[in-house]
Structure 1
Amino acid sequence: MLLASIIIHAAQPIRQERSAASIYHLLQGKRSAQTLQDAHMYGLTHLFGIYPKLSRQVFDKLAANIMQEEGQDIKKNMPYFNGMAYQSQTEPFLYRLLLLVQLLSNQTKGENRYIPVTDNPAIQHWIKQLYRQEQHRLDDWRNGVYEELYGLLEELPQIQAELFVDRLTGYHHIGLTTVQLAEKYHVHDTDVLLYQTSTIHHLLQHAETDTAAFPHLAALMDRPQHKIRSITSTAQKTRTMLERGMSVEQIALVRGLTENTIKDHIVEITWLDGEALSSKFISDTDAAVILECAMQAGTNKLKQIHALLEGKYDYFQIRLALALRKEQEVKA
């Protein structure tokens, strides 16, 4: 079961220092400072938000059976995911593509009356706008979407490509539901959704990095920068106020939040932007001392690091140092 393999993969770096619930929040894409920090700290950003509709009951039942397994490193068997980068893009891109394929297929046959694959008004409006702009180039779109999809799906494992193709709806053809796909391919319905997400991330990654080769798929994407998209909106507000020269105390007062919440935002920003703002709160020397302690102790547990350093640094400084670790490694 793919979901079980993903849980095992996530548990390998995290199991000694976090509860199983932290993995659930990671997969669901909970946009809290702790979950975002865990994703970066344990190298699990690719799994962040890959299953937003994951049931807690399903997760708990599965995790209870497998969290104690040592298991082998199954990373090489994992489908491609890039959750932190594409979490907000996955569903809009998927349904734009599904509705576009349906439109192009029916238009070829001169059929203008059909039930759209999604009743999401925003998706329907988006495709209608595209149609108005490109209605004189629909043959180019039809050929282009086919060629781009064919080439990229050919790179995937057969079952993953076929699951996606069988989902497509066209002229006088209704795509299979998640339950129908699970029955046809003898997999769990949760795995159908995970394979679908992996396929969309695969398409997005190629469309984003090589727009010239995949212009039609790239046109279906939104264009916000990853860092802006990854930082929570409330942390973004804090960053703006910090850049204006406001202190933690001032921001907390103006926003009606606790100082600890503002510090959570600063740590979150540091994971994504490095020392741009954190240098105001911790020096390179102090960060190096904390990181050396964490490395020698082989832990990311704040309480343990704090005790080993005999309380010389507070938890906020320790969290900032850990957030800076990736940047320090790159410099080294």
Structure 2
Amino acid sequence: MKLSSIILKIVEKMDGQRSLNASLHVLRGKRSGQTIQDVDYFSIKPFFSLLPKLQESTFLEAVNELNSHELIIEKQGIIYLTQKGRLASAQLPEFRFDGWNYRGQIETFNLRLLLLVQTLSQVRLSKNSFLPITNDRNVQQFIKELLRNLPATRQKTAALLAAELQSCIKQSEMSELQATVISHRLTGAEASGWTWEQLEEALEESRNSLQLELLEGLHRIIALSETTDYARKLPILHKLAEGIRIETPLTESTVITKKLFDQGLSIDEIAVVRKLRSSTIEDHITEIATNDKDFPILQFVELIDLEAVQDEVNRNEVKRLRLLKEKFPHLSYFQLRLILSTAKGERV
């Protein structure tokens, strides 16, 4: 799996509507009103916040690969797929990411799994004192609580976890490569997890590609183990997945704004109360509208304008704010963003 393939899929969704940076913002999980709206409107939630620490240099390297193979082209700052790019995108396998719902939490799950395996491995050999694989106190406390509340002995818990992992790997239908990366990264009492350098050499794949394989494998494990149906079949993994899924799509700051908005305060009034810029509150309102099918948009735009913009979007497939602004100069960018939030693409 290559980063360039993921970028290609995102560009396909936003073809001819957004700049290159829009894809980078999606992968990093930027919490701006525009990016939140793009994620929903273009149906690219699986890729949101997939790589929060993605370096721009790494991103541009992947983009250059797409350019060198003539899969994408840039015109006036906007990225388009070439015909060759469309064919290449159509041949890509289905990605099984869920970035929108797990944003920023995959590493937590990974550390929980690594520490639990390490702890059980040490305890099986009666080694109660060891250097934990992570210094994250929250993860350490989580594993302590989990082990304290499990009814089985440590020996039996180790065997149960091994069986659950084997079952989950099979049921999730992850690739053999993903299963290999996940298993070889685990650390036990008598065997340390493989480094990325070791995996690169053994599997003849780049580190970036292997890390993406690991990421999708973990997404598959969480998606399977968090479901109610598998709570009994995979009780330990089900526990490890607790709290990983984001319960509310809104940021903490937007939740506060929503409470004030629901009380009837205007944007300017909310800005004063919260001591924030009105533009920031507008971003929050756009985020709320994007995630609320019953959002009272007519508080902000006239029905005639709402229908006119939606008609323009549907007839000419125009989703670029600048072009819409030229067509409807009397509407603000904020109003246009709100209208776009009511004319979303297919749901993910």
Compute the TM-score of the two structures, normalised by the length of structure 2.
Answer: 0.86
Q: 1:283–1:212: structure 2 CA closer, same or farther, 3 Å change rule?
A: farther
Task: Give how far 1:289 is off.
Answer: 3.1
Per the alignment, residue 11 of structure 2 pairs with 11
Report the Cα distance in structure 1 between the residues aligned to 2:159 and 2:90, rounded to whole angstroms: 38
Please say which of residues 310-319 and 192-201 is displaced more in the overlay: 310-319
Report the Cα distance in structure 1 between the residues aligned to 2:275 and 2:239, rounded to whole angstroms: 41
Cα distance per residue 1:166-198 (max 9 Å; x no partner): 111112010112222222211111112211111
Report the Cα distance in structure 2 between the residues aligned to 1:278 and 1:208, rounded to whole angstroms: 35
Of the three residues 239, 243, 259, the one matched with 1:240 is: 259
Cα distance per residue 1:270-325 (max 9 Å; x no partner): 212222354533466653432221111112011212333x4353322221121122
Please say which of residues 214-223 and 80-89 is displaced more in the overlay: 214-223
Q: 1:124–1:135: structure 2 CA closer, same or farther, 3 Å change rule?
A: farther
| Contact residue 274 and residue 323 of structure 1 kept, 8 A | no
Q: Does 1:95 align with 2:99?
A: no
Cα distance per residue 1:173-229 (max 9 Å; x no partner): 10112222222211111112211111111111112223233221121123377452x
Task: Give how far 1:236 is off.
Answer: 1.5
5 Å-filtered alignment, 1:319-330, equals 319-326=337-344
Report the Cα distance in structure 2 between the residues aligned to 1:219 and 1:119, rounded to whole angstroms: 20
SS at 1:85's partner residue? helix
SS at 2:105's partner residue? helix
Task: Give how far 1:49 is off.
Answer: 1.2
5 Å-filtered alignment, 1:32-43, equals 32-43=32-43
Per the alignment, residue 113 of structure 1 pairs with 129
SS at 1:111's partner residue? coil
Please say which of residues 282-291 and 262-271 is displaced more in the overlay: 282-291
Of the three residues 231, 236, 243, the one matched with 1:216 is: 236
Q: 1:32–1:314: structure 2 CA closer, same or farther, 3 Å change rule?
A: closer
Please say which of residues 237-246 and 11-20 is displaced more in the overlay: 11-20
Please say which of residues 197-206 and 127-136 is displaced more in the overlay: 127-136
SS at 1:119's partner residue? coil
Report the Cα distance in structure 2 between the residues aligned to 1:280 and 1:168, rounded to whole angstroms: 54
| Contact residue 101 and residue 245 of structure 2 kept, 8 A | no
Report the Cα distance in structure 2 between the residues aligned to 1:183 and 1:21, rounded to whole angstroms: 33
| Contact residue 266 and residue 277 of structure 1 kept, 8 A | no
Q: Which amino acid aligns with 2:211?
A: L
Q: Which of the pair is proportionally richer in helix? A: 1
Report the Cα distance in structure 2 between the residues aligned to 1:283 and 1:131, rounded to whole angstroms: 58
| Contact residue 248 and residue 259 of structure 1 kept, 8 A | yes
Gapped regions of structure 2 (runs ≥ 5): 72-81
| Contact residue 235 and residue 269 of structure 1 kept, 8 A | yes
| Contact residue 89 and residue 222 of structure 1 kept, 8 A | no
Report the Cα distance in structure 1 between the residues aligned to 2:61 and 2:283, rounded to whole angstroms: 31
Report the Cα distance in structure 2 between the residues aligned to 1:165 and 1:141, rounded to whole angstroms: 18
Per the alignment, residue 207 of structure 2 pairs with 189
Report the Cα distance in structure 2 between the residues aligned to 1:183 and 1:270, rounded to whole angstroms: 48
5 Å-filtered alignment, 1:17-166, equals 17-67=17-67, 68-69=70-71, 70=82, 71=85, 72-74=88-90, 76-134=92-150, 136-154=152-170, 155-166=173-184
| Contact residue 97 and residue 220 of structure 1 kept, 8 A | yes
| Contact residue 266 and residue 278 of structure 1 kept, 8 A | no
Pairs aligned (count): 327
Cα distance per residue 1:112-145 (max 9 Å; x no partner): 2332221222211221222233375434532332
Report the Cα distance in structure 1 between the residues aligned to 2:233 and 2:306, rounded to whole angstroms: 43
Gapped regions of structure 1 (runs ≥ 5): none
Q: Percent identity?
A: 29
